[in-house]
A and B are shown apart, each in its own frame.
Chain A
Amino acid sequence: MQYSSEAASNGGIKYTLSGQLSAQHHPIFRVLLKELEAATFSHCTLNLAQLEFIDSGGLGMLLLANDMCKKRGSILVLQGATGNVLKILTLSQFQKIMTMID
């Protein structure tokens, strides 16, 4: 997994993830979580449009990010998931847990 971050509108922060988000990528996602923990933002968007694969370990990492945002009174938005990533998120009913947009 690779990621980049940028400021978003209305005081938000946006991360773009690419490649695979699976158990093997926990170390790099932990770096992202640490960055998120230290950042100031009103809401956080994870752009998943370039993400090609996700497993239950990756889903767990998204839930940790969601919990972190909630604790700060913010929200996490998942954006642009397609194909097999969208399929796994939908089967896992993530649309009921966090905001998902196209």
Chain B
Amino acid sequence: MYLSPQEAGMWEARLPTEKIIREPIAALLVEEMQQFIRFSEEMRFKIEFCLQEGLQNAVVHGNLEVTMPLLSLEDFEHAQNIIEHRLTIPLFNQRQVQVVCRLFSESLELNIKDEGKGFSIAEKQKETLFGRGFMLMTELSDGFSYCQKTTTLQILFKKLS
């Protein structure tokens, strides 16, 4: 189990950067959530998708500080090499991502906090080949915001059924 109960209606997970890079953690977290939160199959997909995007942004742009634009296969290969290299450096590798789920009467709030220096969503959206995540989160959630200062992404789902 990754998620541990905190106060009533609140669960928290602390995830190593490398685990998020290598493993389908979003799917596992949503499976765990389903043990204590009831939501429809449609909502399951929306939550998993947004969690996946949020976690990837938290590790790649946040914890590993990979900020280069990805416009070609060469850019992509270069970024992958940077990611693999930084995963060997303790400064980056030891950073974690905190996921906090808060369940309200009808809604769910996810907070995804990384330990990087913060990044600009506007800049990330310019990276055309891989920059559709925030647009899709806008479509699939009921709202999200990213605070560069606290390096926290907050995603809201208003109706779970």
Residues of A within 8 A of B (CB): 20, 22-24, 26, 30, 33, 53, 55-57, 59-60, 63-64, 67-68, 84, 88, 91-92
Measured between beta carbons, the chain A residues less than 8 angstroms from B60 are: 23
Q: Are B80 and A56 in contact (CB under 8 A)?
A: no
- Total interface residues on B, CB under 8 Å, equals 27
Residues of B within 8 A of A (CB): 21-24, 27, 45, 48-49, 52-53, 56, 60, 70, 72-73, 76-77, 80, 129-133, 135-136, 139-140
Give the Cβ gap from A97 to chain B, nearest Cβ, in Å: 11
Give the Cβ gap from B21 to chain A, nearest Cβ, in Å: 7
**Majority SS at the chain A contact face:** helix
Q: Are B73 and A57 in contact (CB under 8 A)?
A: no
The 5 closest A-B pairs by CB, nearest first: A56-B133, A60-B130, A56-B132, A60-B129, A23-B56
Q: Are A20 and B129 in contact (CB under 8 A)?
A: no
Q: Are B21 and A24 in contact (CB under 8 A)?
A: yes
Given contacts A33-B73, A92-B132, A92-B136, contact A53 B21 (CB under 8 A): no
Of B24, B77, B132, B133, most buried by chain A (CB within 10 Å of CB) is: B132
Q: Are B73 and A56 in contact (CB under 8 A)?
A: no
Q: Are B73 and A60 in contact (CB under 8 A)?
A: no
CA–CA, A53 to B72, complex, Å?
Answer: 23
